[in-house]
């Protein structure tokens, strides 16, 4: 009898394949090694470490160029751990000392390291214990010469497999894809996790937060996974299979058609032009995006320039970097967001670490205003870049207008200083604010009076409105861009911009999700900024939509307080879109 489990669809696509379980814990048994075999046991351990390193290096090579730096730096962290004495030399000593097998020595050391991490108050350091686990498991799997389910690690094993796991790391996702995985479903995780973002950029159909997969699904049974609807169907009957095979074909056709859209403008059926922009993290990202396909960069997350180093980049390094991005954009606008550091985005220099509640602590503009040695060089570098082309400056996480006035007066000081020094800059550089704190959305009118544009950061706006930590698996089930409160805050922000006659953009993940494109068009949004892999899908919805028809429908929808009715109305809004 078939069974359906639901979760959060994070990467669109239909997959039909065999269930393949990845179990997260590996059982390790202790065995005694005779003294004369200890050296060869140590050699076996060191060979496994080398093999783990080669695996990770191979994974790093396969990460698509457009993947964000935090995913590659995650792999780098694991590579560094493989060279770390605590994790590698101590097990060697333990093998000698206890006369035990390599697996047991590694497990002892893992337990010791993790217990130290878990006692730490700093949430960032606590998350490092997951990294230790991942690295140790990789070595253990090699030592045991098995994958986590007891199967041999052979490439063909995963051909056509739908991988099921409690959770997957980005590195595992890349490796599994290479081994033939066709889709995956995890019991935990949310749509904003790095693994979810990676699944979208690698176009792997994926469902996360599907509780009960370990309990209800069986290894080897036939599954259908629908990454759009967020469902997994086990043991489907012939009729269901035929239905989904047809949907797979439709999906293939749809992708071919999307590719044809690449160089066409985004314009609605009633001729409203819409600006489609890209979100980037690194200068190299511009190349991956492909200039002809976008109207500019709507969000350049500069914090990535500050990561994996001991000291922040100085003004000149920042200027050189921003100028390189601007040049690559060939005259299209570049929106440089000032540093958004803190909370889940930590840097190695230690700045931005904060108290027991980091998402509500000293992050983004709060941190910049507290540490002007960090903020001033960036303001100067952005202003100087503005002399060379269309640069917009965007301030993240504004909470109240006092904060905004502080920023504006610092920008004025910077202008005066640059002028005195005879440095070139655009005096009328466009200054915008991100609306991602509910309080700021509620006072969007005030912000709009003092700014040249607004950009809605839905990732944080949803996190703060619904009080759900965006990196916490346990509460991800509450993540809902269609929550009536979220919709009202978005609408208020768009209306405030329209009233003040300034553009309003959206640069959170919601902007790149085609399920919400019509809703946002109907609300009056005219600028969407997203990961470049979503551009054509969103454009295809825009080019098939009629704003005048959407407006009254959306007006009515936004006034609903019942989440179920809102979801149903979204479906009917999207009903004539080809899936
Ligand atoms: C957001 O919060 O929606 C956003 C775009 O910023 P980030 O994801 O970098 O916090
Ligand atoms: Mg944000």
DSSP β-bridge partners for residue 275 = 527
One digit per residue, the tens of pLDDT, for the chain of length 579 reads 689 999 989 888 999 999 998 866 677 889 999 999 999 999 999 999 999 998 888 877 776 665 555 556 777 888 888 888 888 899 999 999 999 999 999 999 998 888 887 777 655 555 567 678 888 988 998 888 754 444 434 444 688 899 999 888 776 787 788 778 999 999 887 777 767 877 887 789 999 989 888 889 999 999 999 999 999 999 999 999 999 999 999 988 887 887 787 888 999 999 999 999 999 887 877 887 777 778 999 999 998 788 766 788 999 999 999 999 999 999 999 999 999 987 655 554 445 445 667 788 888 999 999 999 999 999 999 999 999 999 999 999 999 999 999 999 999 999 999 999 999 999 999 999 999 999 999 999 999 999 999 999 999 999 999 999 876 767 877 889 999 999 999 999 999 999 999 999 999 999 999 999 999 999 999 999 998 878 988 999 999 999 999 999 999 999 988 888 999 999 999 987 644
Q: Which of 190, 396, 505 to mutate to test the pocket of ligand 1 (most atoms within 8 A of CB)?
A: 396
Which token pair is 563? 């989440």
Which token pair is 21? 């379980």
Distance (Å) from CA 204 to ligand 1 centroid? 23
Q: Is 354 a catalytic residue?
A: no
| CA distance linking residue 410 with residue 402, whole number of Å | 12
Q: Which residues neighbour 503 within 8 Å (Cβ) at sequence distance 6 or greater? A: 453, 454, 497, 526, 527
Cβ atoms within 10 Å, residue 569: 19
Which chain residues have CB less than 5 Å from ligand 2, an ion? 436, 457, 460
Which token pair is 247? 């949907």
Q: List the catalytic residue out of 20, 194, 531, 532.
A: 194
Q: Which of 282, 436, 466 to mutate to test the pocket of ligand 1 (most atoms within 8 A of CB)?
A: 436
Minimum-distance ligand 1 atom for the alpha carbon of 279: 5
* Element (DSSP H or E) covering residue 185: strand 183-186
CA distances from 482 to 157, 238, 319, 540, 566 (A): 40, 34, 39, 21, 7
Distance (Å) from CA 458 to ligand 1 centroid? 7
Q: Which of 457, 458, 462, 468 to mutate to test the pocket of ligand 1 (most atoms within 8 A of CB)?
A: 457
Distance (Å) from CA 170 to ligand 2 centroid? 21
Distance (Å) from CA 457 to ligand 2 centroid? 5
Distance (Å) from CA 305 to ligand 1 centroid? 16
* Element (DSSP H or E) covering residue 163: strand 161-165
| CA distance linking residue 443 with residue 430, whole number of Å | 20
The answer to whether residues 535 and 293 touch, using CB atoms and an 8 Å cutoff, is: yes
DSSP 358: G
For atom 1 of ligand 1, the residue with the nearest CA is: 457
Strands 527-530, 275-280: parallel, antiparallel or unpaired by DSSP?
Answer: parallel
Burial of 564 (0-12, 13-18, 19+ CB in 10 A): exposed
**Of residues 478, 6, 505, 2, the one with CA closest to residue 211:** 6
Q: Which ligand neighbours the alpha carbon of 507 most closely?
A: 1
**Of residues 385, 373, 397, the one with CA closest to residue 313:** 373
Indicate the pTM of the whole model.
0.68
Q: Is 368 a catalytic residue?
A: no
> Taking CB atoms and a 6 Å cutoff, what residues make up the pocket around ligand 1?
299, 301, 340, 436, 457-460, 507-508
Burial of 205 (0-12, 13-18, 19+ CB in 10 A): buried
Three-class SS string for 7-74? CEEEECCEEEEEEEEECCCCCCCCCECCHHHHHHHHHHHHHHHHHHHHHHHHHHHHCCCCCCHHHHHH
Q: List the catalytic residue out of 20, 354, 507, 532.
A: 507
Minimum-distance ligand 1 atom for the alpha carbon of 509: 3
Q: Which ligand neighbours the alpha carbon of 509 most closely?
A: 1
Q: Got the DSSP string for 441-482?
A: HHTHHHHHHH-SEEEE-HHHHHHHHTT--TT-GGGGGG--TT
Strands 453-456, 275-280: parallel, antiparallel or unpaired by DSSP?
Answer: unpaired
């Amino acid at each position: 009898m078939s069974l359906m489990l639901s979760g959060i669809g994070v990467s669109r696509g239909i997959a039909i394949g065999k269930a393949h379980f990845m179990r997260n814990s590996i059982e390790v048994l202790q065995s005694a090694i005779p003294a004369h075999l200890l050296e060869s046991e140590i050699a076996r351990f060191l060979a496994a470490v080398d093999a783990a390193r080669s695996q990770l290096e191979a994974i790093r090579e396969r990460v698509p160029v457009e993947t964000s730096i935090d995913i590659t730096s995650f792999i780098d962290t694991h590579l560094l751990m493989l060279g770390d004495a605590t994790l590698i030399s101590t097990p060697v000593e333990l093998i000698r000392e206890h006369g035990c097998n390599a697996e047991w020595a590694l497990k002892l050391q893992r337990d010791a390291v993790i217990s130290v991490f878990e006692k730490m108050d700093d949430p960032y350091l606590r998350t490092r214990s997951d990294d230790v686990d991942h690295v140790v498991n990789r070595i253990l799997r090699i030592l045991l010469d098995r994958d986590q389910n007891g199967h041999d690690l052979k490439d063909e094993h995963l051909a056509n497999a739908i991988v099921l796991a409690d959770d997957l790391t980005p590195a595992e996702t890349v490796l599994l894809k290479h081994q033939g995985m066709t889709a995956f479903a995890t019991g935990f995780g949310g749509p904003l996790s790095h693994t979810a973002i990676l699944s979208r950029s690698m176009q792997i159909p994926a469902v996360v937060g599907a509780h009960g997969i370990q309990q209800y699904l069986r290894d080897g049974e036939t599954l259908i996974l629908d990454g759009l609807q967020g469902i997994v169907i086990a043991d489907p009957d012939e009729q269901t299979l035929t239905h989904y095979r047809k949907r797979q074909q439709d999906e293939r056709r749809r992708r071919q058609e999307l590719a044809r859209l690449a160089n066409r403008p985004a314009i609605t059926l009633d001729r409203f032009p819409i600006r489609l922009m890209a979100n980037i993290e690194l200068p190299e990202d511009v190349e991956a995006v492909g200039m002809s396909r976008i109207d500019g960069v709507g969000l350049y997350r500069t914090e990535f320039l500050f990561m994996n180093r001991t000291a922040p980049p100085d003004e000149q390094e920042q200027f050189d970097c921003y100028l390189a991005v601007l040049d690559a954009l060939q005259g299209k606008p570049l929106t440089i967001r000032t540093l958004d550091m803190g909370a889940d985005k930590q840097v190695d220099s230690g700045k931005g670490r904060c108290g027991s509640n980091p998402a509500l602590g000293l992050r983004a503009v709060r941190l910049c205003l507290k540490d002007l040695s960090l903020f001033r060089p960036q303001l100067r570098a952005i202003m100087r870049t503005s002399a060379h082309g269309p640069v917009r400056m965007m301030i993240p996480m504004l909470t109240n207008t006092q904060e905004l006035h502080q920023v504006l007066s610092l920008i004025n000081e910077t202008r005066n200083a640059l002028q005195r020094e005879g440095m070139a800059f655009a005096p009328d550089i466009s200054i915008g604010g991100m609306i991602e704190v509910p309080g700021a959305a509620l006072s969007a009118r005030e912000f709009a009076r003092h700014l040249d544009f607004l950009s809605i950061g839905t990732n944080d706006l949803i996190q703060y409105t619904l009080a759900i930590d965006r990196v916490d698996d346990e509460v991800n089930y509450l993540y809902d861009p269609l929550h009536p409160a979220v919709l009202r805050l978005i609408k208020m922000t768009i209306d405030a911009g329209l009233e003040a006659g300034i553009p309003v953009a959206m640069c959170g993940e919601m902007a790149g999700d085609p399920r919400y494109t019509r809703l946002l068009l109907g609300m009056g949004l005219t600028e969407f900024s997203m990961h470049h892999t979503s551009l054509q899908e969103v454009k295809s919805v825009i080019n098939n939509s009629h704003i005048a028809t959407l407006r009254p429908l959306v007006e009515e929808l936004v006034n609903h307080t019942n989440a179920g009715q809102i979801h149903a109305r979204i479906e009917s809004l999207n009903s004539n879109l080809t899936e």
